[in-house]
Amino acid sequence: MIASFLVRMDFPTIQWERKPSAHEFPRAHGLSPPRSIDDVLQGGQPGANKDLRSRHQAFGFRLHYDATLVWGRDLTGEFELPTLTPSWVREYFQPVLDLIRYAAGLKKENTTDFSLPVKTRQKLRKLARLGVLGGACLLMAQGRFRSLKGIDTIPVLKASYPQWTDFLNETGELYIHLTPSSNKRVSRYLSQLVKWMD
């Protein structure tokens, strides 16, 4: 995720070798690309500019609420997390909404820093991930937020909004798996997603 640490056994000693995670994980399949530890932590250094500090806070938020520690050092204590005020939630949600509206042809240009994959399988999974993020933002605004993970978000949403159960079930399936897809299926899901986000 942020960096990979590989162990190389050279008997009789063990050497630790740090390699860029992009080398080990060359494709993110429509998810965010891997980041190095240096990239993640540089915004927390004294003298970091506003852009780096903002990115640092965003990384910390994602690490705290949307990451699973597999191996390595826990970095979550090194970040100052934002206070989830209504204005902060709206600011966090706006690029997600803008990207979806652009993908659906409701905005003429993509004004966000993000893009969607071209391949339909990856695009469908990314759209479903955006649906989970939208639901997480809704829970933030209601003071019921636990994490950005679908496993924490989708069950709460289904219990609160039973009329959206079919859509949320599909989202729960799509945001994890690369599902065989077509442009028709992407368009159908996207039209539901726009309604959900609105």
Domain map (residue ranges) of the chain: 4-78, 86-197
pLDDT of amino acid 3: 26
Rounded Cα distance, 87 and 28, in Å:
31
Sign of CA dihedral 24, 58, 167, 119: negative
Instruction: Tell if the pTM clears 0.85, that is, is over it.
Output: no
- Omega of the bond prior to 12 within 30 degrees of 0, cis? yes
What's the rounded mean pLDDT across residues 87-111? 89
CB atoms < 10 A from the CB of 124, how many?
A: 26
pLDDT of amino acid 176: 86
Is residue 96 predicted with pLDDT exceeding 80?
A: yes
Query: Residue 146 carries which side chain, given as an amino acid letter?
Result: R
Rounded Cα distance, 153 and 144, in Å:
9
- Among 110, 165, 177, which Cα is nearest to 135's? 165
Q: What is the pLDDT of residues 43-65, one digit of tens each?
A: 777 888 887 777 777 777 766 66
What does each C-alpha distance from 39 to 59, 108, 185 come to in angstroms? 10, 32, 36
pLDDT of amino acid 181: 85
- Residue 41's pLDDT band (boundaries 50, 70, 90)? confident
Least confident of 13-17, 28-32, 106-110, 129-133: 13-17
